[in-house]
């Protein structure tokens, strides 16, 4: 099972991100907890960190805060060296997309090889603009 984040307008899907397996999203959030929050989960990025990864939604109002949190995460992750991928699919996607991580930030991408923080931030911006929530599916 994978984490899929998406925005719908009625029956039409406006955009979506396949983050990867639940373990991949957990690995991302563990990185946030360690690097940005100094081990105190939810202390700096509550919108991202305190939300269940398996259901529900981020409202447009929550997405405003999520964008700020992702900006903070990006700045911190860019300062750290890369780590090994936590799953085989990431190594495969990195190879096929020519991803060569130069920072911790570069170690997180969706199943299409697009930067995860950037993709979630773009989805959050779309949520704010369209007044539609980001759904966890």
pLDDT in tens, 60-86: 999 999 999 999 999 999 999 999 998
pTM: 0.95
Query: 2-9 and 12-21 as β-strands: parallel, antiparallel, unpaired?
Result: antiparallel
Helices and strands of the chain, counted as H and E runs: 5, 4
Alpha carbons 32 and 100: distance in angstroms, whole number:
21
Fold for the domain defined by 2-136? Hypothetical protein yfbM fold (3.40.1760)
Which of 35, 102, 15 minimizes the C-alpha distance to 48? 35
Alpha carbons 24 and 87: distance in angstroms, whole number:
7
pLDDT value of position 55:
80
> What phi and psi values does residue 121 have, to the nearest 5 degrees?
-65, -45
**What's the maximum distance between 2 C-alpha atoms anywhere in the chain?**
42
pLDDT value of position 38:
97
Alpha carbons 46 and 58: distance in angstroms, whole number:
12
pLDDT value of position 52:
87
Ranges of each domain in the chain: 2-136
- Cβ pair 106, 82 in contact under 8 A: yes
| Positions in the chain short of pLDDT 50 | none
- The dihedral built from the CA positions of residue 125, 94, 31 and 80, taken in this order, carries a sign that is negative
For the chain, the average pLDDT equals: 96
């Amino acid at each position: 099972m994978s984490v899929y984040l998406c925005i719908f307008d009625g029956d039409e899907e406006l955009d979506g991100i396949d983050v990867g397996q639940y373990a991949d999203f957990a690995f991302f959030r563990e990185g946030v907890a360690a690097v940005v929050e100094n081990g105190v989960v939810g202390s700096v990025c509550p919108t991202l960190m305190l939300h269940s990864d398996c259901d529900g939604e981020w409202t447009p109002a929550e997405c405003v805060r999520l964008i700020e949190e992702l900006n903070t995460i990006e700045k911190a992750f860019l300062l750290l060296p890369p780590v090994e991928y936590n799953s085989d699919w990431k190594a495969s996607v990195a190879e096929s997309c020519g991803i060569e991580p130069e920072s911790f930030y570069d170690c997180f991408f969706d199943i299409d090889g697009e930067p995860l923080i950037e993709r979630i931030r773009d989805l959050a911006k779309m949520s704010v603009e369209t007044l539609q929530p980001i759904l966890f599916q």
